[in-house]
Structure 1
Amino acid sequence: MKRYRQEFGNAALAYLGLFSIGFFILTFIYDWIQEEKAYRQGNHPSYQLEQGVETFQGEKGFTVKY
């Protein structure tokens, strides 16, 4: 009975680890797809910086384009 419990615990930990890794990978892919969509629609911050019309030099050296 004790051996069964130990094997079950090891299997549970293995499945939990695989689930965590899979969830992380899927979240990363989903976030990447959302960023690509935002960039193609022109809503992404880096795209807006590239397409900025006017430049305003703010305090502390930050450059804001709008």
Structure 2
Amino acid sequence: MSTPGPSAVEIRLTDAERARLMAVAADPSRLAIRARIVLACAQPGATNAQVSRDLGVSVHTVRKWRS
């Protein structure tokens, strides 16, 4: 039997923050990956594991940028 880990930090973005992240996410850079992680984590019900799978990054990376 597995036990769930700690709850993921909820991310709430303003419209301006979301727009800025979307602009950054369009670039082919490491910063763009970070922006995509934050945008994905800001979706209601997004888990670190799901974001990790969707974006092809480690759960540790998602956890780092979500926090």
TM-score by length of 2: 0.23
Higher radius of gyration, 1 or 2: 1
Q: Which has the higher helix share?
A: 1
TM-score (norm 1): 0.24
Higher relative contact order (CA 8 A, sep 6+): 2
